[in-house]
C-alpha cells in the first residue's frame, strides 16, 4: 500500500507544480507580450512619423530646387534675354504669363538691373517700384547667381502682384485651445517659395527673372505632398495621413479637416510645439490632438535665406491607424497564448502520467550522483520505449560527467606541470640575466672610458654605438629581472593618492613631460590599499612614460582615482590623448618583448612588468584605445 501511495503523491505534486508553472508562464507571457507589443508599436509609430516628416521635408526642398532649375533655365532663353535688354515690356508680359501657366507659378516678374520692377505677369500697369529690398533680389544683384528658398511677403507687396493673390493671402485666425494668444484677428503676411535668377547678356546683368509660389491657401501644394507620402490611405473615412504648412503658428495650407469637414485654415498649433519648433528651431514628434482628432504628429522648422525660422512643416498620422493594429494584434496574441496554454496543460498531464516512474528512478540516481558516485540506471524491460530512452540518456549523461571529470583532472595536472615549467624558465631567465649583467657592466665601463679617451678621433662614433647598445642590453636585462621577480616585497597599507603624487612629482621635471599637461582627478575618500609602494610607483611611472612617448607633440595625461561601487575596489585610471594602439596590437601589449616603439626606444618589458605587478597584488588591469584618439589603462586593486 505504501508504494502506490508514494507514486500517487509524486504524481500529484508534479501535476500541481506543472500546472502552476504553465499558468504563471501564460500570465507572464500575456503581460510581457502585450507590454512589448505596445512599446514596439508606439516606437514604430514615432519612427514612421519621423520618416514621413523627413520625406516631406525632402519633397519640399526638391520642389524649391526643381523650380529654381526651371527659373534659371528660363532666364537664359534668348527671348527673355533680348526682351530684357531692350526693355520690351509687352513681349516680356506675354512670355511671363506663358511661364506662369506652364509651370504653375503664382508670381512671375522681371526686375531691371538697377533693382526696379520692369514688368509683372499679374499686373502690367504696376512697374517702376523698387525691388532691391527683397532679400533674393539683393543676393542676385550682389552675386549674379541664382537664389531660391522660403521667404515672406507683406500684404502691400503681395497686393501689387494682383488682387486675387491678395485675397488668398489674408487668413482669419481661428481661436484654438492650448495655442498662444494672438492680438491680430488675421494673418496678412504671405509665405512663399521665392526664386530669382540673373538675366545675363554676355556676362553683363541685364535684369532678374523673379518667380514665386504662394503657399497661403495652397491646397494643391499640400495635397500633392500627402499623395506622395501617404498614398491617399483612409481610416474610417478620414485621411490616415495629413500635411500642413504653417506661417508662424498659423495653418496657412493644410488637408487637416475641422469638425465641419472644411480645411482647418487659420487654426493654431499648441504653444508647447510653437516654443520648441519656432522659437528654438527643433523638431517635435509626439502624440497631439490636432483640430478634432488624435494624431502622431511631427513638426519641423522652415527657414528663410538667413536661417531665420518663418514657419513649420507638419505631417501627422491618425492614432486610430496604430490603435487598430494594436487591437487586432492583441486579440490574435491572446488567442495564440490561450491555445498554447490549453495545449501545454493537456500535454503536461499526459507526460506526467507517462514519465512518473522513470522520473522517480532518475531522482534516486541523481541522489547517488550528488554523493559522488557514478550511478547508472538499470533499464526495466517493462518500461515503454520513451522511458528506456530516458534511462539511456541519463546513463549517457553519467558517462559524459565521468569523462569530463577525467579530462578536468588531466587538464589540471597539465596546467600545474606547465606552471612549474614556466616558473623554472622564469628562475632560469632571472639567473641568466644576473650573469649577463656583470659582463655588461664591464663592457659599459670600459667603453665609456675609451670614449672619453677617443673623443675627437675617428673611433668616437663607433665607441658611442658600443656604449649605447650596451646600455640598451642592460635595460633589457633590468626589464627581465623586473618581469621575472616573483617576490611579494614589503606590503603595507598605503595611500594610493600619495604614491601617485610621489611618482608625478619626479616625472613632471622630466624633459618628456615638458609639453604635456598632467591632470589629476584623485578621489579624496579613496581607501588605503595593502601594496608594495615601490612596485606601485613603478607601475605609475611605466604607464606615464608610455603615455608621454605616445604624445611626442604634446597632449594631456589624466590620472584619476575612484572607488568602484559594489566591490569597494580602488580604481586607478591613466588616460592619454596620444596616437593610440591599433586593434591588431592591443591583445599583445602585455606579452614580453612586444613593443610598438621604434628600435632602441623600448624593451617591450614595461607593460608586462605592470601586468605582473597588478596580478601579484590580486588586482585587474584593462586597456581601451582608439587610433588617433588616445589610450586608457584602468587598474583595480582590492582595498584593505
Taking Cα atoms as reference points, which of 324, 319, 296, 317 lies closest to residue 242?
317
Higher pLDDT, 373 or 532: 532
What would the mean pLDDT of 437-443 be, rounded to a whole number?
71
Cα 116 from chain centroid?
A: 52
Taking Cα atoms as reference points, which of 276, 272, 356 lies closest to residue 309?
276
What SS3 class is residue 506? Answer: helix
What would the mean pLDDT of 285-306 be, rounded to a whole number?
87
Instruction: Say yes or no to pLDDT of 511 above 80.
Output: no
What would the mean pLDDT of 356-364 be, rounded to a whole number?
64
Name the percent of the chain lying above pLDDT 90. Answer: 36
Name the percent of the chain lying above pLDDT 70. Answer: 79
- What per-residue confidence (pLDDT) applies to 258? 85
Instruction: Say yes or no to pLDDT of 374 above 50.
Output: yes
When the pLDDT of each residue in the chain is averaged and rounded to a whole number, the result is: 82
What would the mean pLDDT of 2-10 be, rounded to a whole number?
49
Model confidence over 580-628: pLDDT tens digits? 888 877 777 776 665 666 554 555 566 777 887 888 888 898 999 898 8
Q: Indicate whether this model's pTM tops 0.85.
A: no
Neighbour order of strands in the sheet with 620-626: 516-521, 555-563, 570-576, 630-637, 620-626
Cell matching residue 531: 601594496
**Cell 554523493, located at residue:** 371
Instruction: Say yes or no to pLDDT of 5 above 50.
Output: no
> DSSP state, 528?
P
Instruction: Say yes or no to pLDDT of 67 above 90.
Output: yes
Contact 313, 303 (CB under 8 A): no
Instruction: Say yes or no to pLDDT of 20 above 80.
Output: no
Instruction: Say yes or no to pLDDT of 369 above 50.
Output: yes
Instruction: Say yes or no to pLDDT of 148 above 90.
Output: yes
Model confidence over 391-424: pLDDT tens digits? 767 777 777 777 777 787 777 677 566 555 555 6
Cα–Cα distance for residue pair 364/477, rounded to 1 Å: 63
Higher pLDDT, 335 or 468: 335
**Domains of the chain by range and CATH?**
61-321 (3.30.450.20), 380-486 (1.10.287), 489-637 (3.30.565.10)
Instruction: Say yes or no to pLDDT of 79 above 90.
Output: yes
Instruction: Say yes or no to pLDDT of 490 above 80.
Output: no
Most confident of 38-42, 256-260, 506-510: 256-260
- What per-residue confidence (pLDDT) applies to 380? 64
- What per-residue confidence (pLDDT) applies to 338? 78
Cα 483 from chain centroid?
A: 41
- What per-residue confidence (pLDDT) applies to 244? 94
- What per-residue confidence (pLDDT) applies to 267? 92
- What per-residue confidence (pLDDT) applies to 7? 47
DSSP string, 241-304: EEEEEEETTEEEEE--B-TTSSB-TT-B--HHHIIIIIIT---EEEEEEETTEEEEEEEEEEE-
Higher pLDDT, 601 or 531: 531
Instruction: Say yes or no to pLDDT of 147 above 90.
Output: yes
Instruction: Say yes or no to pLDDT of 540 above 80.
Output: yes
What is the number of alpha carbons within 13 Å of residue 375 lying toward its C-beta? 14
What would the mean pLDDT of 19-45 be, rounded to a whole number?
73
Amino acid at each position: 500500500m505504501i508504494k502506490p501511495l508514494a507514486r500517487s503523491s509524486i504524481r500529484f505534486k508534479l501535476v500541481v507544480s506543472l500546472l502552476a508553472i504553465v499558468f504563471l508562464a501564460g500570465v507572464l507571457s500575456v503581460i510581457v507580450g502585450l507590454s512589448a507589443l505596445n512599446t514596439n508599436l508606439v516606437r514604430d509609430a514615432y519612427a514612421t512619423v519621423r520618416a514621413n516628416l523627413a520625406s516631406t521635408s525632402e519633397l519640399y526642398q526638391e520642389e524649391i530646387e526643381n523650380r529654381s532649375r526651371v527659373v534659371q533655365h528660363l532666364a537664359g532663353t534668348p527671348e527673355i534675354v533680348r526682351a530684357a535688354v531692350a526693355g520690351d515690356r509687352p513681349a516680356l508680359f506675354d512670355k511671363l504669363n506663358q511661364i506662369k501657366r506652364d509651370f504653375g507659378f503664382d508670381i512671375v516678374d522681371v526686375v531691371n538691373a538697377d533693382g526696379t520692377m520692369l514688368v509683372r505677369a499679374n499686373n502690367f500697369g504696376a512697374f517702376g517700384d523698387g525691388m532691391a529690398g527683397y532679400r533674393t533680389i539683393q543676393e542676385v544683384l550682389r552675386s549674379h547667381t541664382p537664389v531660391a528658398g522660403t521667404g515672406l511677403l507683406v500684404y502691400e507687396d503681395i497686393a501689387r502682384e494682383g488682387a486675387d493673390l491678395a485675397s488668398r493671402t489674408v487668413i482669419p485666425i481661428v481661436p484654438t485651445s492650448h495655442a498662444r494668444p494672438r492680438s491680430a484677428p488675421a494673418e496678412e503676411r504671405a509665405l512663399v517659395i521665392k526664386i530669382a535668377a540673373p538675366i545675363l547678356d554676355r556676362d553683363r546683368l541685364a535684369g532678374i527673372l523673379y518667380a514665386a509660389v504662394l503657399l497661403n491657401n495652397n491646397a494643391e501644394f499640400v495635397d500633392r505632398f500627402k499623395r506622395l507620402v501617404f498614398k491617399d490611405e483612409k481610416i474610417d473615412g478620414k485621411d490616415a495621413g495629413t500635411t500642413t504648412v504653417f506661417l508662424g503658428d498659423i495653418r496657412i495650407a493644410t488637408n487637416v479637416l475641422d469638425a465641419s469637414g472644411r480645411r482647418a485654415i487659420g487654426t493654431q498649433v499648441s504653444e508647447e510645439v510653437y516654443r520648441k519648433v519656432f522659437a528654438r528651431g527643433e523638431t517635435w514628434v509626439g502624440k497631439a490632438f490636432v483640430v478634432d482628432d488624435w494624431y502622431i504628429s511631427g513638426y519641423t522648422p522652415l527657414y528663410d535665406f538667413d536661417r531665420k525660422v518663418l514657419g513649420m512643416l507638419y505631417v501627422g498620422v491618425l492614432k486610430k491607424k496604430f490603435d487598430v493594429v494594436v487591437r487586432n494584434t492583441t486579440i490574435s496574441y491572446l488567442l495564440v497564448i490561450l491555445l498554447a496554454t490549453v495545449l501545454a496543460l493537456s500535454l503536461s498531464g499526459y507526460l506526467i502520467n507517462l514519465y512518473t516512474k522513470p522520473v522517480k528512478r532518475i531522482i534516486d540516481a541523481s541522489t547517488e550522483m550528488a554523493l559522488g558516485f557514478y550511478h547508472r540506471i538499470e533499464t526495466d524491460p517493462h518500461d515503454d520505449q520513451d522511458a528506456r530512452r530516458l534511462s539511456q540518456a541519463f546513463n549517457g549523461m553519467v558517462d559524459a560527467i565521468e569523462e569530463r571529470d577525467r579530462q578536468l583532472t588531466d587538464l589540471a595536472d597539465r596546467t600545474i606541470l606547465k606552471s612549474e615549467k614556466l616558473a623554472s624558465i622564469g628562475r632560469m631567465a632571472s639567473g641568466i640575466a644576473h650573469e649577463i649583467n656583470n659582463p655588461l657592466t664591464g663592457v659599459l665601463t670600459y667603453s665609456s672610458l675609451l670614449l672619453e679617451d677617443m673623443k675627437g678621433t675617428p673611433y668616437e662614433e663607433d665607441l658611442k654605438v658600443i656604449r649605447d647598445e650596451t646600455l640598451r642590453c642592460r635595460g633589457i636585462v633590468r626589464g627581465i629581472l623586473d618581469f621575472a621577480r616573483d617576490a611579494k616585497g614589503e606590503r603595507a597599507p598605503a595611500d594610493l593618492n600619495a604614491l601617485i603624487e610621489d611618482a608625478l612629482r619626479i616625472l613632471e621635471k622630466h624633459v618628456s613631460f615638458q609639453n604635456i599637461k598632467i591632470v589629476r582627478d584623485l578621489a579624496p575618500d579613496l581607501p588605503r590599499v595593502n601594496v608594495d609602494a615601490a612596485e606601485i610607483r613603478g607601475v605609475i611611472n611605466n604607464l606615464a612614460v608610455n603615455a608621454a612617448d605616445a604624445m611626442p607633440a604634446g597632449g594631456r595625461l589624466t590620472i584619476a582615482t575612484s572607488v568602484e561601487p559594489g566591490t569597494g575596489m580602488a580604481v586607478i585610471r591613466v588616460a592619454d590623448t596620444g596616437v593610440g594602439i591599433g586593434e591588431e596590437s592591443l591583445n599583445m601589449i602585455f606579452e614580453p618583448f612586444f613593443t610598438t616603439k621604434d628600435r632602441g626606444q623600448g624593451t617591450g618589458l614595461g607593460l608586462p612588468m605592470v601586468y605582473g605587478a597588478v596580478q601579484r597584488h590580486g588586482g585587474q588591469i584593462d586597456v581601451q584605445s582608439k587610433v588617433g584618439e588616445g589610450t586608457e589603462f584602468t587598474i583595480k586593486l582590492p582595498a584593505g
